[in-house]
Amino acid sequence: MLLEEPLGATRPFNVIIDQCPEAVARLASAEQTAVIVRAARELGLRVHVQGSSHNRIGTLEGVLSIRLDGMTAVEIDTDTQVVRVEAGPRWLDLVPRRPSLASGPSPEINIDGCSLEGGLGWQARTRGLQANSVIAMEVVTTDGEQLRADAENHADLFWAPRGGSW
């Protein structure tokens, strides 16, 4: 876990935007994320999660920026056709291994961010929205609690991040 600002850690995809958070945390696990979210809360800092830096945001004053580029594991279960991804991998990390998946509009964007914003990609007409393929999520709440959200467990938390698509 890094709490520093390596060169480029706050640089968004759109370089016209100047992002200057109070600190940047590059995390390697959901457990680290839960710890850092709790610490930010205790310090009175807001939290901003950033994957591939495509999301446009305003000022980051008083914000701890969490970078997801250290959480890039991808597991594919060929028997069940279920893919499990951590919070940080981009479509380019997955599509060459699983080209049949509905993917995002660009190989450079994060799988999680795309999926949680609907997942409208170039295959949407034939494969549907990516958000509709999500069967479960492991989330860290604003209180720093780790939860599993699916259709039976924390269903409201499962529904809302996927664009409220159900």
pLDDT in tens, 16-51: 666 678 888 989 999 999 999 999 999 999 998 887
Question: In this structure, are residues 71 and 27 in contact, taking their beta carbons and an 8 Å threshold?
Answer: yes
pLDDT in tens, 81-117: 888 889 888 877 776 666 566 566 677 778 777 777 7
Q: Which two tokens stand for residue 32?
A: 């680290």
Domains and CATH numbers, the chain: 2-67 (3.30.43.10), 74-162 (3.30.465.10)
